Amino acid sequence: MTRKTHYRACHLCEAICGLVIETEGADIVSIKGDKADPLSRGHICPKAIALKDLHTDPDRLRAPVKRVRNDIGEDEWQEISWDEALDTTATRLAHIIAEHGVNAVGIYMGNPSVHNYGMMTHQGNLFQHIRSNNRFSATSVDQLPHHLTSLWLYGYKLLIPVPDVDNTDYLLMLGANPLASNGSIWTVPDVKKRLKALTARDGKLVVVDPRKTETAGIASEHFFIRPGTDALFLLALLHTLFTENLTDPGELTAFTSGLDEVAAAIAAFTPEFAAAHTGIEAEAIRRTAREFAAADKAVCYGRMGVSTQAYGALCQWLIQLINIATGNLDRPGGSMFASPAVDTTKTSSPGGHGRHLSRVRSLPEFDRELPAACLAEEISTPGEGQIRALFTGAGNPVLSTPNGRQLDSAMETLEFMVSLDPYINETTRHADIILPPTSPLEHDQYDISFHLFAVRNTARYNEAVFDKPANSLHDWEIFNQLGNRLAKLLDKPEQPPVAPHEIIDMGLQMGAHGAQGLSLEKLRQHPSGIDLGPLQSQLPARLATPQKTIQCDIPQAMADLHRLFEEFQQPDTSEFRLIGRRHVRSNNSWMHNYHRLMKGRDRCTLMMHPEDMVSQGIAPGARATLSSRVGSLSVEVEPSDEMMPGVVSLPHGFGHTRKGIRLQTAVTHAGVSCNDVTDEHYLDVLSGNAAVNGVPVTVRPA
């Protein structure tokens, strides 16, 4: 049998590492890093090897299924044709829209959808006919504060600058663990080598985190910080920069305003005030600010730990202000904007905030999506606009959003549910119909999103590794065909089937590098990708604000300072604070059904400082009851001096114990769901993002 060599970018995390895949017939013989890829340079992690497991997984659906009730009253799944699946779905959606209005249809899109370009290019073919106020996504349990801050400061939701790590002298990192995540809102493959190169050239990496993570383990300095107090630490840094005259916006001065107003507004947020709540000494805060300002090239970066907390938007605003005030925005070695070959900032809406509110709690939309934390109540609360039908795409919100048990129960009351998903999981088990797309290796791929956040400008397009099987549909074809069926029922025009690669080809030729002859055909000739050069300064031209200026004193953020100050007038009386954690062999809830990623010791444990275990009377390896306002769960406790006292850590995405799921490997490593104790009412008020880090909890011997 002939051995073939294929080239591919891994789609399983944001690093988009280049791969070389060898096959013999229908078998995958090997998966290795592509040394010719100009971005990843041959690096891969264990997730890439598991692409074989995903492709061959017997639990992965190969045909549409519908849920039926058997003779003894139990649910079963029955394979059906694509025509029946799509016709039934379109008919049910059209009926509910006609009877109850378009807002009776809810939409939830999960994290994997952004990793697959067909999901992004074609979902509008369906959703243009379902212009519901009840749209949700994983964004609001993740990176929403990044987008809101970029909209405020730079005029566009996706204009998010990233650390130019290969050229910086000083990297201050909060609530991020790229050695486990491979970067997040920061496409930085081979990050360990890049960080070690930073310190080897006498640069400094400072990590601020309630846990001494894998990244903190290689840092020059690590500060423990109490969860939820990062905004106070950042404010104290900024306070020091202002009061000690360490600010120098440099070339940003000509088009930046509001820093003086910010300085006046934060006068009370001194290092001493921060020290009393963060656990970081005032002098250490001042020293960090001075070192940052003195560095020739410095950058401040924060991720999940600072985004998914009660002051996530304030944190991301302050991070940007620190980079701006020291002149480190838009300069090599600082915080830089990428120049992607396909630039979606030129072709999509900039985003908006608060243009409509959720029906039950009046939570604000962002980019026409409501906070995921209110999805359950919008299903279960009667009245006009109640969600009666739900479409989910590549998402598992029962395990991924706050108070998953509440959502689990709410989904049982839906009149109709359809899921575009290859698995019967904790969420899709509630669906009436599941529409499974082809395997990722059975379609071509161009990454649309993560080149926007890359540490170097590159472009890469790859053909499918395997032919599309008979009687199967790509995800973009599902969107197109379902959208056209619904359009016909609603007496609206149908859409012609334009393939994603045609859209990408237009984007390449119209983009910043199109004038140099970049096209899909050129990328086909270079399957390992094309190097488009290092990050370059682009301001003020790249700004999307009306006057091409940066207004720092954002009224909403300035007003939220009062909420922050008032809350921390009183000491924290919570017994423990819960945080999450990431592992390099995992990505949310969708990577737990592959043996090579799940083998080894149990990773779903509650990490706890040994002294806290003694004080609570919990023996190493014993089980404990973890409780919050919304519920309790029993979990094995793992002693770890990586943890800050008073803080416990449980990974996200586990809890594969619900009845009726078809995930054989995941079930044998079921663990518990941290979102059975996270609180749908514990939010970042400013953005609506879920605060799944810093949740007040108690821990007792089981």
Check residue 571 and give its pLDDT. Answer: 83
Q: Hey, is 627 helix, strand or coil?
A: strand
Check residue 480 and give its pLDDT. Answer: 97
Check residue 63 and give its pLDDT. Answer: 98
Contact 454, 529 (CB under 8 A): no
3-state secondary structure 242-280: HHCCCCCCHHHHHHEECHHHHHHHCCCCCHHHHHHHHCC
Q: Is the predicted pLDDT of residue 122 greater than 90, yes or no?
A: yes
Average pLDDT over residues 414-433: 98
> Per the structure block, which two tokens stand in for 85?
């699946």
Check residue 586 and give its pLDDT. Answer: 86
Give the span between the Cα atoms of 448 and 343, in whole angstroms: 8
Give the span between the Cα atoms of 400 and 681, in whole angstroms: 15
Strand order, beta sheet including 221-223: 221-223, 204-208, 170-174, 298-302
Check residue 291 and give its pLDDT. Answer: 98
Q: Is the predicted pLDDT of residue 572 greater than 90, yes or no?
A: no
For the stretch 174-228, pLDDT in tens is 999 999 999 999 999 999 999 999 999 999 999 999 999 999 999 999 999 999 9
Q: Is the predicted pLDDT of residue 10 greater than 80, yes or no?
A: yes
Q: Is the predicted pLDDT of residue 348 greater than 90, yes or no?
A: no
Token pair 């019967």 is at which residue?
424
Give the span between the Cα atoms of 607 and 569, in whole angstroms: 29
Partners of residue 162 on adjacent β-strands: 336
Please calculate the CA angle 564-569-571 and round it to the nearest 5 degrees.
110
Give the span between the Cα atoms of 654 and 196, in whole angstroms: 32
Domains along the chain? 65-142+344-532 (3.40.50.740), 164-340+552-561 (3.40.228.10), 571-701 (2.40.40.20)
Give the span between the Cα atoms of 627 and 630, in whole angstroms: 8
Give the span between the Cα atoms of 206 and 173, in whole angstroms: 6
Between the CA of residue 190 and those of 14, 40, 297, 581, what are the distances in Å? Answer: 12, 6, 21, 20
Q: Give the start-end residues of each E strand in 61-165.
A: 65-69, 75-79, 105-109, 135-137, 162-163
Check residue 345 and give its pLDDT. Answer: 87
Least confident segment among 439-443, 557-561, 585-589: 585-589
Q: Are strands 389-393 and 105-109 parallel, antiparallel or unpaired?
A: parallel
> Per the structure block, which two tokens stand in for 427?
């969420």
Backbone angles phi, psi at 70, to 5 degrees: -85, -175
**Contacting residues for 98 by C-beta, under 8 A, at least 6 apart:** none
Average pLDDT over residues 670-689: 97
Among 9, 30, 27, 26, CA closest to 18: 9
- Residue 12 is given by DSSP the state S
Check residue 570 and give its pLDDT. Answer: 85
Give the span between the Cα atoms of 342 and 70, in whole angstroms: 50
Average pLDDT value for the chain: 96
Contact 5, 18 (CB under 8 A): no
Contact 363, 374 (CB under 8 A): yes
* Identity of the residue numbered 236: A
Check residue 567 and give its pLDDT. Answer: 95
Token pair 């830089």 is at which residue?
336
Backbone angles phi, psi at 328, to 5 degrees: -100, 5
Find the radius of gyration of the CA atoms of the chain. 25
Contact 306, 684 (CB under 8 A): no
For the stretch 41-83, pLDDT in tens is 999 999 999 999 999 999 999 999 999 988 888 889 999 999 9
Among 576, 588, 530, 517, CA closest to 112: 588
Give the span between the Cα atoms of 566 and 635, in whole angstroms: 35
Check residue 280 and give its pLDDT. Answer: 98
Residues 541-570 as b/e (b if ≥16 CB within 10 A, e otherwise) read ebbbbeeebbbbbbeebbebbeebeeebee
Backbone angles phi, psi at 367, to 5 degrees: 55, 40
Indicate yes or no: pTM above 0.75: yes
For the stretch 267-313, pLDDT in tens is 999 999 999 999 999 999 999 999 999 999 999 999 999 999 999 99
> Side-chain half-sphere of 544: how many Cα atoms within 13 Å?
19
The separation between the first and the last C-alpha atoms of the chain, rounded to the nearest angstrom, is: 57
3-state secondary structure 30-46: EEEECCCCCCCCCCCCH
Give the pLDDT band of residue 622 (cuts 50, 70, 90): very high
> Per the structure block, which two tokens stand in for 617?
């009377």
Check residue 590 and give its pLDDT. Answer: 82
**Contacting residues for 175 by C-beta, under 8 A, at least 6 apart:** 208, 209, 230, 302, 303, 304, 305, 306, 307, 309, 693
